[in-house]
Amino acid sequence: MLKPLFLVVLGAALPLVALADPMVLGAASTRAALDDSIAQSGIAAVTSYGASGVLARQIEQGAPADLFISANPKWMTHLVEAGIVRPEDVAVLMSNTLVLIAPEGAAPLEPSGIAARVAGDNFAMADPEVAPVGVYGREAMETLGLWGDVESHFVPTRNTTATLAAVAQGEAALGLVYGSDAAGQSGVTVVWEIPAESHRPIQYLVAPVGQGDDADGAQALLSYLQGPDGARILTRHGFVPVAGGS
């Protein structure tokens, strides 16, 4: 009776599922790529997406998860330290890049032109206090000596979805998002790819959890994601897959 009660308490956070299907909890930025991968794999699975910290807390409280994909390594570490995930089961599934975006049709941008582009306008980025992409973004801009060009124009957003919307709607001259978030998005143009060496590696960690009802199904899905077909799908969605995990 504990599991149904937990699902009711979480409400919309976790859907009621058939016992035969693995439950996958994934960082919000993985939604499109993971949904596509599941569809192409032919493996039935139920997904729930959200901020990595929120999902980790749900798992810690007993959510019936079979697989967890975190965009923030510290939350996977949190579950390892809590004894819920075995450290030897954690793997790097994929990485990501950072890009600057502007409204659709904008010309490519050199770093020296950033200050002029945001003059009298806004620079949108997810709030570093709550979103990993904001942490990586600020770190990169500071490393490159560019934070001073945008700091007074910085408008923090809730997440990259909000950043994309702000730029597409002309509410910000520039925005900083993950490369995967910008891939195939209408209304915005990537104007500069931020050098990877300017920030810590962006790693998406994956691990089986073992609190759900289909560990075998979850392992099959993980194997697919780590294989060549999964890698092609992740690449198509703007991620950089790590072959076979690491």
Give me the long-range contacts of 227-234 (CB less than 8 A, separation at least 24): 229/40, 229/41, 230/37, 230/41, 233/33, 233/36, 233/37, 233/40, 234/33, 234/37, 234/93, 234/94
Please answer whether residues 33 and 234 qualify as being in contact, where contact means their C-beta atoms are separated by less than 8 angstroms. yes
DSSP E strands in 110-171: the ranges are: 123-126, 154-157
Q: What is the pLDDT of residue 4?
A: 39
27-31, 64-68, 167-171, 219-223, range with the lowest pLDDT: 27-31
Q: What is the mean pLDDT of residues 127-145?
A: 92
For residue 200, what are the CA distances in angstroms to 97, 135, 136, 223? 11, 10, 7, 27
Q: What is the pLDDT of residue 28?
A: 84
Distance CA 234, CA 245 (A): 13
Please answer whether residues 98 and 187 qualify as being in contact, where contact means their C-beta atoms are separated by less than 8 angstroms. no
Q: How confident is the model at residue 51 (pLDDT cuts 50, 70, 90)?
A: confident
Q: How confident is the model at residue 10 (pLDDT cuts 50, 70, 90)?
A: very low
DSSP state, 96? -
Query: Residue 85 pLDDT more than 80?
Result: yes
Query: Residue 96 pLDDT more than 90?
Result: yes
Q: Given the DSSP bridges, would you call strands 123-126 and 174-178 parallel, antiparallel or unpaired?
A: parallel
pTM (2 decimals)?
0.79
Query: Residue 17 pLDDT more than 70?
Result: no
Q: How confident is the model at residue 159 (pLDDT cuts 50, 70, 90)?
A: confident
Q: How confident is the model at residue 188 (pLDDT cuts 50, 70, 90)?
A: very high
Q: What is the pLDDT of residue 184?
A: 83
